[in-house]
Structure 1
Amino acid sequence: MEQLERLSLVSRIATELHNHWGISDKDLAEFVLHLGEESQSLEEFRAKLKANGSAVTQALAVSLYTSISKFVARSKKAKTAAATASTSSGSSGAGVKDGKNGVSPSPVKDSKDEQVSAPGSSTNGSKPLPTTAFSVSHHPPTEKELKFPGLCMQNRFDRPELQLARPDDNAPLSAAAQRLLQQEKDDKELMREQQEAFKRAKEGYWGGDHNSSSKGGISATGANALPIGGASGAAGTAAAATGAAGESLNFCGKRGAPLERYGIYDGVVSRVMEYGAFVQLDLAEGRREGLLHVADMSRPDGGPCVSADAVRKGQLVKVKVHAIAGTRLSLTMREVDQATGRDLKPRNLQGGTSCSRAALFESLAEEHAQALEKKGLGRITGVKINLNSTEEETAYSRKRKLMSDYDKWEAQQLQRSGLVSSKENPYYDEEAGGILPAQEAEEDVEIEVVDEEPLFLRGQTTRAGMQLSPVKIVANPDGSLARAAATAQTLAKERRDVRQAQEAAILDSIPKDMSRPWEDPNPQPGERTIAQALQGLGQTGYEMPEWKRLYLGKNVSFGIKSTLSIAEQRRSLPIYKLKEQLLKAIMGNQVLIVIGETGSGKTTQMTQYMAEAGLVTPGRLIGCTQPRRVAAMSVAKRVAEEFGCRLGQEVGYSIRFEDCTSPDTIIKYMTDGLLLREALVDPRLQRYSVVMLDEAHERTISTDVLFGLLKECCRQRPDFKLIVTSATLDAEKFSNYFFNSSIFTIPGRTFPVEILYTKEPETDYVEAALITVLQIHLCEPPGDILLFLTGQEEIDTTCQTLHERMQRLESANPPPLIILPVYSALPSEVQTMIFDPAPPGCRKCVVATNIAEASLTIDGIYFVIDPGFAKVKMYNPKSGMDALTVAPISQANARQRAGRAGRTGPGKCYRLYTEAAYRCEMLPTAVPEIQRTNLENTVLLLKAMGVNDLLNFDFMDPPPVQTLINSLETLFELGALDDEGLLTKLGRKMAEFPMEPQLSKMLLTSVDLKCSDEIITIVAMLSVQNVFYRPKDRQALADQKKSGFHQPEGDHITYLELYRAWQRNRFSNAWCYENFIQHRALRRAQDVRKQLISIMDRYKLDIISAGKDYKRICRCICAGFFRHACRVDPQEGYRTLVDHQQVFMHPSSALYNRNPEWLVYHELVLTTKEYLRDCCTIEPLWLCDVAPKLFKPADQQRLSRRKMRERIEPLYNRFEEPNAWRLSRRQGKR
């Protein structure tokens, strides 16, 4: 039996070697088995393989050693069992001794008895995450692990070469960063700063220096008593200048100390410059002078300063030697306590092993960067930086304008006739003194995709023929609900076309020549009246439709109206009655699941209850996550008001690119993505004593990843408490996942709801919903209506149609119906109108998206209409595109919608689908976001945390394998992963930026290409949406203004020039209004730009401007989005290089109708076609330079794949058959 198992193992090893190395040799497999049997650990096994000349990867070594170790363990166990059996049979005649005779039997221990149950530990056998870097799992590998070894590599948490030096958040910014931030201030901010500076100077004059000097100067004793190096450092500078000779420098510190790096010395300021100060040190080898940069000075409050305010000539300071370069010294004051001389940031390289290892890796990284520079590659990203075009060449190429043949002929004739001089020719160059030669035809360059798979994913991708199926979001694609969803899109397009035709007819009926009736002495009757009425057309704002103007009104109120005080409002919440029981449950459980409907007070009150109960330990916080940043800001503002403090003090919030907290903060609201990034730095979340995952039922990607990380944090920290809140009733899944934790339910008002189904499937659910609303309004007793639809366009169309039908029924004198829409694009003050009760005798109809399922609770709803559909964001791994598709909801969502009718009293739910469709065509629960969206950023974060075993990571719902494989491929092509699938130094830096991997790669590449200032602006502009706006009554003028910003390089450079123009106009809102630009979007982009400047400065990344060298900027954009490269399709539109998908340029693009041959796009959106958004022109050879792992130049000796796919299509002739031109069809014809 053992021989058979050995032969089976040899065959398995041979298969593994064939998949990874392409070698199928039984002798080699037996030799590998022999090495594994002699090895005691994975490291030893891998070292032996490498010693024998094999380039084995980590994934292959783990897979082989796991199989071999299991075989060795089984063989040893079999031998031990055989020896025990022979021993027992030999001594069967002897009596067996019991415990009384001195031999106690050894009972078989249950695995559960060996586990030590810590607070919150798993009781259902949940698998903990590995805590050692090279631990080998002892369970037999599953079929999926054997099939995808690249997804189940060993976790590695101790890679010191990837540990980045954490920047000091309290450290002042460098002078360059401060100068850039100063340029972002408008006139009001500058004037305010000047007034504050004048006020400080005035207070200092009358309160300090002026009074002291009037009394005969500052005494030496008083000067020595003042602090040194602060913002008021002028008061402490006279201590060394009290002698008769003011130029002499007095040293009062330890004299004659030897010079060493990171040593602390007393020094005297000898010169003060604009960029810093020079400090003299008295050393053993004599006096040395070093530079103290202004970035290394700071005020006592840690804020930025200028050198003249921080130090003065002759001032005694305590400095640390930061760097030694020959005879030059770099000094710093920030890391030294000026009062005691204590080192605030010890960095003794000779003192410890960890510091020595850090220094070793730092030196190795520097050597690697220098080697890259010698090869002409970037120090950070490794891309080629030898640009062929300089700034002058770029400007030269942009000066030339394309002219048609007729324009060229006309200019030539005018010049020959003598009417026009040669200097007026568009091609005239003043420097050359003549006409520029015609441009040479560009060489046709062919680029092909590299077929080789990454080494760690060999045989696991679709290139190798692996058939991978994504997660289905529809239970039955051929059912009635799926057909209705497809029909709804067609009907929506028809309604859109009808509406556009009506608007066009109205515009066509307007007289085009407004001045003719005034010039005509005898106009037709009424013409002047019409012209006068339409004289201001195109100058007014967009008029609100009649139904919106009628129901929403002009004067709207902000927030939900309440006459109660804040304390009374808190006591009126349902959670207030359960305060004591809730605190008792929190104290007695490490993990607690809290279920309560929206409006019960979970988000705002639980954090305050825990803070009042003393769950906040010194130095730690209570954290609460929100899925949306707007919710985090608004909730924090409300809690700060209830807590009785200013926002940002005891209660604050943190979102991406904005931090409103302080050292006094004890309650912190944040987005779930921000907490995930904090876990990247501190996996055990030592800053938090309690973390509350709010709105967990929404199941965002960040929340799902936090589930696994916080579950492990609970195992490692018994003092840590986790609270998971949800507004839905499916809490058993959360409880089972988190160690069978307790569930605390906040009871709400629930009444019975009658469920009504349709007898036959509905093809047009919008029309069915309109009929149902009118039927309820005319036939049912009083009570408000809640109608669920999918999106803004559908809601607006439905409200308009419903209003028109109510107008037709005015003759029947029906009761008034108030129509109120709810979707995310509406202003918040308009959304709050749905909470106001309807006037007596009226009925309110709320038309909402699925936001009203659990995020909102509206009182007075008795009737719910559920068509059974919602818009779902779905990621297609094949095309790499996110698309919003209309899909059937789940059974859990349907139950949640029906429950909305039972909050105030007994209600009814009209489901516009059959009961069979509910049971057979709907999934039990909704597909979480992690299973239907792109995971590149998530995988990068997990890799940065050391999690390489993505297949066995403790996801509540694991993502599809195809999405993980595609994410790993993309990260490998970006340079974030190496050939073994492990994180690179570049990937570790990319993970530090809170943005997509493509944007972070583009930002880091800009440092190598020396255009980081412009790329920061472009990234900030890409982070906001809808910078331009087109009023419906002034679309032509808005398009004309927008075209003035268009740049021939594409939309990215257009955004750059737009921001620069706004900056030249001193960030004026009036300028934005004149040019049809959203000033709020630009303000948001400005905030993002400021935060990116701070982040790059803290990580010591240079911020350099490239000026007008747009080719360098376009090359940098190509380095991040090379996978989005396209080429013109000979037939129509463009073709993507990676998957050969036909796409089209969006009409709003600056490159529309220019049709450049090569371009890259930022995103691909699906509306009526696959449109490219935010395009940028590139040169084809750049793709091979910035992405050699994906692209290569085509072989010139043979046809490229693109040309091989092209087909000769003859001109259409309606009198002949399509294939009549072929020779095979022309037989017998002459």
Structure 2
Amino acid sequence: MKFEYPSQLPVSAAREDIAEAVRSSQVVIVSGQTGSGKTTQLPKILLELGRGSHGRQIVHTQPRRLAARTVAERIASEMGVRLGDEVGYQVRFTDESSPKTRLRVVTDGILLAQIQRDPKLMQYDTIVIDEAHERSLNIDFLLGYLTALLPKRHDLKLVITSATIDSVKFQEHFEHALHAKVPVIEVSGRTYPVQVVYEPLGTAPALMRSVPGFETGAMPGDADYAALSAAPNAKDAHDSTIDVPTAVARACAELVIHSSHDRGPRDILVFASGERDIHEFENALRRHYGPRAVDMRRPDAIEIVPLFARLSSKEQHKVFESHTHQRIVIATNVAETSLTVPGIRYVVDPGTARISRYSKTAKVQRLPIEPISQASANQRSGRCGRIADGIAIRLYSREDFETRPEFTEPEILRTSLGAVVLHMLSVGVARTAQDVTNFGFIDPPDMKAVSDGFNELTELKAVARKHGEVVLTRTGRMLARIPIDVRLGRMVIEAAKSTTPNTLAAVLVVVAFLSLQDPRERPEENREEADRIHNRYADPTSDFLTALNLWDRVFQADGEPSNSALRRICKTEYLSWLRMRQWKDLVSQLREMCREFKFKLGDPIPVSRPALEIRQLPLNQQAAHSMCCSWDAQGIHTSMLAGLLSMMGMQVVREPKASDFSGLKGAARARAMKRAQKMAKNDYQGARGTHF
């Protein structure tokens, strides 16, 4: 194992200070901007100090799976060891570690699961919580849990890394809890000035008069310019003639032209809020650049590289490989803090991200696309001042930026607390709602959210009350060990209890489908064709059975496909190969878990399938619904309802009366009546008087 610290990384200069702080204090906070080398160099400093020895390990948490793997690979290659030996990693589907492992990079969810099996975390002598400023639910729970654990384990060291903004908050929290000084070590890197320009949708380019191949848009001084700039969200306020993918393509084209005289790295990083946006931005750029984006032998070639968690590791690595031509990287907000993409000189920021929120009325967790906070926008623009003077183009107005919240709200204040409460009960750190609010959270959730969490668990029969305290039922103890959403976990337990082994296997397939993104793809250019092909499986009575029909066709009816056969099937059936693989992996993991619980488990075999001659017809001759199988629909749906009690409703049909349309005549009256009849069937009354 070699210990070398690249001199260009700011953290290398603070190496002695960090080592000294770790020797003398139980908690150390290392704060600095993204890209200062905290993530990759800190573990090496700790290993060199002799942490992670005598049968104990250093655990290093990352908020995302993609980051956990990349970080482990990077540290292993810098230290000259094989990944999986002294340096390993563990994420939801993969464990690359061995008895020799001294440093284990994991997602924060993995460490949470380990707390259940080993509440004192005796396996570790040092814990590094990376990217703590993200304040995800898992990070907040871990920090709260460790606040209580550290006084009981004086040999355990905690190192927290954070962007500069939150370090004081963490310092005050731990000093107050541990009654000891907590050192904060600043390792802010040397950065170059970044010019931030605003280009709201529909307005003229900011760096030049016009961009060839694109509309110019409203100029400063035009009547529409003020309106487009002032609107908090130009997209909603005006039917802007320009859409986001086109705006992204224009901003990139502008930067490519602007940078044509520059020497050195000139790569552009574009932020997207999800996979669909990445594909749309990529298509818009490919349409604009044509052969320049295809033929990498051209001197003016432009390489377009997407980066998101579900790409294969080979494709993800592409971003870190050296290259000679200009590159446009399109990434989700994993590139905002977790990963530093090398060679970035320019940033294009559409100003949105998917932010997890709990809808109290629908009682589900949603991932709406929302405007990002000022702190996130500054993190994004800061990604391009690492190597030379940078430019960040924001596709919204300065007024819009100034009205945004300063920081992103911690996830614990905008999420369903059912899973958190379940976790706390199973680890034994809470017995009442009061315990949850008094737990060492940095931002305690309010009592209403906590009691909603308890109500959700009561509805799922996971908890019972005994002498004023809440205790886990047998169902609750099982739920705490199932690595998926509590409502989905409840469906599995119900199927095991009240249906046949084969129906349980079918419920596992449906539950895995609901945990992941839909594998069906509807590309813009072939949308109708894709819908026609998907309609062959569509069960008119149930989306759940549609998922099972799809599973049976791909993985069972004609035997299990090889990898190359699966790719072929996915291509012709408009399915995402990666999501189908993930679906299969999650089903295997859930089957493994059912065996641990000693559930009787069969196979997800339908009662009957379409005849072989129909399955062998050419695709264009298979009618809608022709690939539907027959399943134990009653057993499957009964199991699913156990997890969705508060979402059941009775249809309330209110027949429209003639007097409702008294002022209307002719076609307008007919239209209004038709709309009223449609609306009359759309009202449902659920539990506790809710309407949806």
Instruction: Name the amino acid aligned to 2:470.
Output: L
1:581 to partner: Cα distance: 3.6
Q: Alpha carbons of 1:1024 and 1:613: their partners in 2 closer, same or farther (altered >3 Å)?
A: same
Q: Deviations over 1:722-781 (max 9, x none)?
A: 111234554222222222621223342312334556875623694776666555555676
Counterparts of 1:1125 and 1:994, CA distance in 2: 25
Distance in 2 (alpha carbons) for counterparts of 1:1106 and 1:802: 43
2:476 to 982, 987, 1000: 987
Equivalence for 1:718:
154
- Equivalent residues in 2 for 1:729-808, closer than 5 Å: 729-739=165-175, 741-756=182-197, 760=226, 762=229, 763=234, 766=244, 778=257, 782=262, 784-788=267-271, 790-792=273-275, 794=277, 797=280
Confirm whether residue 942 of structure 1 aligns to residue 465 of structure 2. Answer: no
- 1:1067 is matched by which residue type in structure 2? E
Q: Determine which structure has more spread, i.e. the larger CA radius of gyration.
A: 1
Secondary structure, counterpart of 2:158 in structure 1: strand
In structure 2, what is the Cα distance between the partners aligned to 1:1095 and 1:943?
21
Residue number in structure 1 paired with 2:685:
none
Match for residue 1018 of structure 1 among 502, 507, 521? 507
Distance 2:381 2:273 in 1: 17
> Does the residue aligned with 2:408 lie in a helix, a strand or coil?
coil
Partners in 1 of 2:141 and 2:104 — Cα distance? 20
SS of residue matched to 2:421: helix
Shift, 1:876, TM fit: 1.8
Q: Does residue 853 in structure 1 map to residue 336 in structure 2?
A: yes
Post-superposition offset of 1:1059: 4.3
Q: Which structure 2 residues correspond to residues 966-977 of structure 1 after superposition, within 5 A?
A: 966-977=452-463
Cα distance change, pair 1216–1071 in 1 and its aligned pair in 2 (3 A): closer
- C-alpha distance after superposition, 1:54-97 (max 9, x if no partner): xxxxxxxxxxxxxxxxxxxxxxxxxxxxxxxxxxxxxxxxxxxx
Please report how far the alpha carbon of residue 710 of structure 1 lies from its aligned counterpart in structure 2 after TM superposition: 0.9
Matched with 2:665 is: 1214
Contact 1:865 1:909 in 2 (8 A): yes
Q: Which residue of 2 aligns with 1:958?
A: 444
Identity, % of aligned positions: 32
Shift of 1:827: 5.7
Q: Whole-Å Cα distance in 1 between the matches of residues 70 and 192 of structure 2? A: 31
Q: CA 1:1111–1:594 in structure 2 vs 1: closer, same or farther (change >3 Å)?
A: same
Displacement of 1:690 in angstroms is 0.7
After the TM superposition, which of the residue ranges 742-751 and 816-825 deviates more from structure 2? 816-825
Q: 1:796 to 1:1053 in 2, by over 3 A?
A: closer
How far apart in 2 are the matches of 1:646 and 1:860?
A: 26
SS in 1 for 2:423: helix
Displacement after TM superposition at 1:590 (Å):
0.8
Shift of 1:942: 1.6
TM-fit CA distance, 1:608 = 3.9
Structure 2 residue 590 is matched with structure 1 residue 1092: yes
2:614 match: none
**CA shift for structure 1 position 693:** 0.9
Partner amino acid, structure 1, of 2:665: R
Q: What is aligned with 2:295? A: none
Counterpart for residue 1122 of structure 1: 645
Report 1:27-106 matches (<5 A): none
Residue pair 1:1017, 1:1059 contacting (<8 A) in 2 also: no
- Once the two structures are TM-superposed, the CA of residue 892 in structure 1 deviates from its matched residue by 1.8
CA contact (8 A) 1:1018 1:1055 kept: no
Counting only pairs closer than 5 Å after superposition, residues 583-598 of structure 1 correspond to structure 2 as 583-598=19-34
Q: CA deviation at 1:1086?
A: 4.1
Q: Map of 1:1063-1102 to 2, 5 A cutoff?
A: 1063=556, 1065-1069=558-562, 1072=566, 1073-1074=568-569, 1076=573, 1080-1102=578-600
User: What letter corresponds to residue 725 of structure 1 in structure 2?
Assistant: T
Q: Name 1:1052's counterpart in structure 2.
A: 544
Change (3 A) 1:735 1:942: same
Q: Across the two proteins, how many residue pairs are aligned to each other?
A: 573
The one-letter code of the counterpart of 1:988 is R
Would the alpha carbon gap of residues 1000 and 859 (structure 1) be closer, same or farther in structure 2, given more than 3 Å must change? closer
Deviation of 1:817 after TM superposition, in Å, equals 8.0
Determine the structure 2 residue equivalent to 1:690: 126
Structure 1 residue 702: Cα displacement: 0.8
Shift of 1:721: 0.5
Aligned partners of 1:846, 1:1024: CA distance in 2, in Å?
25
Q: 1:976 to 1:869 in 2, by over 3 A?
A: same
Question: 1:894: how far off?
Answer: 3.0
Q: Deviations over 1:91-115 (max 9, x none)?
A: xxxxxxxxxxxxxxxxxxxxxxxxx
Superposition map of 1:580-979 within 5 A = 580-640=16-76, 647-656=83-92, 658-739=94-175, 741-756=182-197, 760=226, 762=229, 763=234, 766=244, 778=257, 782=262, 784-788=267-271, 790-792=273-275, 794=277, 797=280, 818=302, 820=304, 822-824=306-308, 829=314, 839=324, 846=329, 848-866=331-349, 868-911=351-394, 917-919=400-402, 921-946=403-428, 947=430, 948=432, 949-979=435-465
2:538 and 2:109 mapped to 1: Cα distance? 35
Query: Could you tell me how far apart the structure 2 residues matched to 1:1042 and 1:794 are?
Result: 22
**How far 1:899 sits from its partner (Å)?**
2.3
Q: Is the 8 A contact 1:623 1:667 kept in 2?
A: yes
Alpha-carbon contact 2:3-2:44 (below 8 Å) kept? no
**Secondary structure of 1:587's aligned partner:** helix
> Cα 1:1065–1:804, aligned 2, differ >3 Å: closer, same or farther?
closer
Distance (whole Å) between structure 2 residues aligned to residue 976 and residue 888 of structure 1: 36
| Alignment partners' CA distance in 2, 1:567 and 1:665 | 16
Instruction: Give the distance between the partners of 2:582 and 2:276, measured in 1 at CA.
Output: 26
Q: Distance in 2 between matches of 1:722 and 1:589?
A: 9
1: CA distance between counterparts of 2:544 and 2:644? 12
Query: What secondary structure sits across from 1:1123 in the alignment?
Result: helix
Say if 1:649 and 1:1059 are closer, same or farther in 2 by CA, change over 3 A. farther
Whether the 8 Å contact between 2:490 and 2:642 is mirrored in structure 1 is yes
Q: Measure the CA separation in 1 of the matches of 2:89 and 2:286.
A: 42
Letter in 2 for 1:878: T
Higher helix share: 2
1:792 offset after TM fit, Å? Answer: 5.0
CA contact (8 A) 2:30 2:162 kept: yes
Relative to structure 1, the CA distance from residue 601 to residue 1037 in structure 2 (aligned partners, 3 Å threshold; closer, same or farther) is same
> Which position in structure 2 is the counterpart of 1:113?
none
- Give CA-to-partner distance per residue, 1:1168-1203, whole Å, 9 cap, x none: xxxxxxxxxxxxxxxxxxxxxxxxxxxxxxxxxx36
Contact 1:786/1:847 (8 A) holds in 2: yes
Structure 1 CA distance for aligned equivalents of residues 275 and 64 of structure 2: 19
- Structure 1 residues 935 and 1053, CA gap change in structure 2 (3 angstroms): same
Secondary structure (helix, strand or coil) at the match of 2:356 reads: strand
Alignment CA distance shift 1:745-1:686 (3 Å): same
C-alpha contact (below 8 Å) 1:1010/1:1104 kept by paired residues: no
Residue correspondence of structure 1 range 481-500 to structure 2 within 5 A: none
Q: Name stretches of at least 5 consecutive residues in structure 2 with no aligned partner.
A: 176-180, 200-219, 221-225, 235-239, 291-298, 608-631, 671-692
User: In 2 relative to 1, CA 1074–916 (structure 1 residues): closer, same or farther, beyond 3 Å?
Assistant: closer
Measured after TM superposition, the shift of residue 1118 of structure 1 is 2.0
Amino acid aligned to 1:990: L
Paired with 2:120 and 2:140, the residues of 1 have a C-alpha distance of 17
**1:605 positional shift:** 3.9
SS at match of 1:592: strand
